[in-house]
A and B are shown apart, each in its own frame.
Chain A
């Protein structure tokens, strides 16, 4: 009997939603178990890093990695997995571009840590204790102190392909079971597309599969922009045409327009179409192109732009760490935090 392909599954700074999307294959899970040997977490087989290192290089057929790279531990593990795997796939928005936790790149890591351990109103921390890479603890009745080690935090969250070479991408926050299933078929068929291809999803924009697409005007022109809590949209008319900033036109399809079907605008979790250099940049330029003002009407334009206080959160919700702009440029190196931050 031919040996089944070995599939590894690992998570970094993720929420577990990608794991849930896998379980949502439901009865198809049994087919997956038949077709492949799954190693959900490579550490499930050999969790000491040294043990994985002992496996021959390239002995894992496919590694599916979700979550962004936030901790030193993530970085070490994905580098190891890269060596041991023939194919590495970035699974989901966080792994592909950083995802929502990537919005932390708008701040210094020091500010992120301070907020959580020193500033939130419920914290009681008179000694200003912070997480530390090494903690020496004294346990009663023991002669020596015991050192407890905690992994370090990276100053920025990184998409997987900024840390290791990535062969394919499966988009979505999370990928839907259908998208994952399609991608799985492509992988198992052995007829793999060119490196860098986005698997499982559509090659067209979300609008193409949106039930409201028929109501989308040929040329949308907007005098005003609305935030989702400011308007009750008509359920049978293109949301963008109603002034809600639905990102469908610049977002890859494949989810089946789930948010729009719930009467809510697309927030872009399937990311850019092929050959788009920067998702947020594309979204902004698209929005600029549908505003019904001439460049001469600067006051009016400013008024409309001011209706959206958080453009970054709107167009880079899932994409900031992959963007050319990338978030905060110079991360402050602070002595107070060097015990827990792995500065560049």
Chain B
């Protein structure tokens, strides 16, 4: 008899996700689906709005990574009005952006992934949360983590106006220069940030890499997919979050494509499935071949591991060192192990901290020259940034008054949606046999998507009691047979 199991809800960025697991008559999982019940329609209601409102409107797509949307939108306005911001403005934007990447990645590592690795995937469930993390690392360290995040976010408020939903981005620059007092604090914060990321790397090494069981888990086949990878690179093919060319490598690590975001429609297309609201992007040259991995599939991945795979290295010394260490340990490039995202995320934190330090000490950032007014007639604006969760593209068309006629947005989770679907399916099929379902197995399935950081909102939901999941088993007629709950 066929059975259907529904995991509902898993908490996700855009509402909550749901996992449907289908078993055959032996009780083995034969297929698993992840659904995203979320539809808000930004692409439609952007129409008719003032273009300069887009950096205010689009951050509301995601309150966890509002800075990514704010920045993509602001850069799309530069492009729309064909205005080149003064160099200090670009530097301050990039600095702000790296503050954001750092705090967002830190939050994921400590609050979302932390419970799995620092406390342990098979630790008692009531300890597998941030309170458990603090217990394990000590209250002092816990307060240090909370304090660091608070300081960074306070600094973001001073620079960007608001931390959640920033407002300082305008076509041609930013709305306000930095005063000397802020820059003084920034320099101090930059030093602390570099130290904090080294500290984080050490925790990762001590807790994860020295534990053979974890390393086996990271490299296990259940969490491995050979797909293409995408990320933004600078002129030396090094990882960049703020600007650059989009580079794609194939599952062997060979460059598959490198393009300017203005050409994205030649490279990326979206596929629709009726059982979910999210659309799945794929490489247009290869085409949509269904939910399969490998060289002949158009499925690709974004976010930390993908960015590192798609680049040739990091632009700062400590990050480069950590980058080399990861690939040496995991057997060279590219790394296909989804759980290695956690390691890649820390390497990116180090890069962000070092980049913050470089920019905070750049004399140009105290300049008053942070904005030029656009003078040209707007028509089309396209931009890209790397959001914490991957490549983010904004594309606007306006009339001559700068009113949006059409908008298209390709967000990070869409690029990863197909690979996340693969991961859930593979993990469920590897782990669920003979109808046996227990807490450990369920957490292992969760870990398959948590590595992508599908959202920190998972993390916020995780704070008091970790991720809620329940399995519902139905027969093929839809009769409820059994409920298996994860009572965190």
Contact = CB atoms under 8 A, between A and B. Distances in A.
Interface of A: 11-24, 26-27, 29, 33, 38-41, 43-45, 47-48, 70-71, 73, 99-101, 103-104, 106-107, 111-113, 115-117, 120-125, 129-132, 135, 137, 139-144, 146-148, 150-151, 153, 173-174, 227-232, 235, 258-259, 261-264, 267, 309-310, 312-314, 317
B153 to A, nearest CB: 6
B234 to A, nearest CB: 25
A17 to B, nearest CB: 2
Given A124-B270, A262-B175, A150 B37 contact: yes
A230 B426 CA distance: 53
The 6 closest A-B pairs by CB, nearest first: A17-B63, A262-B161, A112-B41, A19-B460, A15-B63, A16-B457
Contact of B15 (A11, A24, A48, A139): A11
Contact of B279 (A33, A47, A116, A132): A116
A132 B171 contact: no
Contact of B64 (A20, A103, A125, A153): A20
B460 A123 contact: no
Interface in B442-474: 455-457, 459-461, 463-465, 468-470, 472
Interface of B: 2, 4, 8-9, 11, 13, 15-16, 20, 22, 24, 30-31, 33, 35, 37-45, 47-53, 56-57, 59-64, 66, 77, 81, 107, 131, 143, 146-147, 149-150, 153, 157, 160-165, 167-168, 170-172, 175-176, 264-265, 268-277, 279, 281, 284, 288, 371, 373-374, 395, 401-403, 408, 410, 455-457, 459-461, 463-465, 468-470, 472, 476, 478, 483, 485, 488
Contact of A151 (B37, B107, B395, B401): B37
A16 B371 contact: no
A44 B164 contact: no
Nearest to B40: A101
Given A15-B60, A16-B456, A142 B265 contact: no
A264 B64 contact: no
Contact of A26 (B37, B150, B401, B464): B150
B408 A107 contact: no
A19 B265 contact: no
A119 to B, nearest CB: 8
Contact of B13 (A16, A23, A258): A16
A107 B461 contact: no
18 contacts: A21-B164, A24-B150, A33-B131, A47-B9, A48-B8, A106-B48, A116-B39, A129-B274, A150-B275, A153-B39, A228-B52, A229-B402, A230-B373, A258-B167, A259-B162, A263-B168, A263-B175, A310-B50
Nearest to A107: B44
Contacts, number: 283
Nearest to B159: A262
A73 B81 CA distance: 41
Given A101-B40, A123-B269, A150-B275, A41 B468 contact: yes
Contact of A131 (B13, B39, B47, B371): B39
A258 B402 CA distance: 26
B168 to A, nearest CB: 5
A310 B51 CA distance: 10
Contacts of A309: 50, 401, 403
B437 to A, nearest CB: 15
Contacts of A27: 143, 146-147, 150
Contacts of B281: 122
A170 B192 CA distance: 35
Nearest to B371: A232
Contact of A104 (B37, B44, B146, B279): B44
Contacts of B268: 122
A123 B279 contact: yes
A185 to B, nearest CB: 20
A189 to B, nearest CB: 22
Nearest to A116: B43
Contacts of A11: 15, 457
A26 B147 contact: yes
Contact of A235 (B161, B176, B373): B176
Nearest to A131: B277
A313 B49 contact: yes
A310 B9 CA distance: 38
B165 A17 contact: yes
A15 B66 contact: yes
Given A47-B9, A100-B57, A132-B275, A122 B20 contact: no
A262 B168 contact: yes
A308 B184 CA distance: 40
Nearest to A128: B272
Contacts of B150: 24, 26-27
B39 A23 contact: no
A44 B465 contact: yes
B15 to A, nearest CB: 7
Contacts of A15: 59-64, 66
Given A123-B279, A262-B161, A310-B53, A101 B41 contact: yes
Of B44, B147, B468, chain A has the most CB atoms within 10 Å of the CB of: B44
Of B147, B268, B401, chain A has the most CB atoms within 10 Å of the CB of: B401
A112 B35 contact: no
Nearest to B48: A310
A117 B274 CA distance: 10
B50 A44 contact: no
A65 B16 CA distance: 14
Given A71-B39, A116-B43, A150-B37, A20 B470 contact: no
Nearest to A232: B371
A116 to B, nearest CB: 6
A282 B45 CA distance: 23
B461 to A, nearest CB: 5
Contacts of A45: 465, 468
A328 B177 CA distance: 41
A310 B53 CA distance: 10
Nearest to A327: B45
Given A17-B164, A139-B30, A258-B157, A144 B41 contact: no
B161 A120 contact: no
Nearest to B414: A122
B41 A104 contact: yes
Contact of A101 (B60, B175, B410): B60
B468 A132 contact: no
A124 B162 contact: no
B284 to A, nearest CB: 8
B108 to A, nearest CB: 12
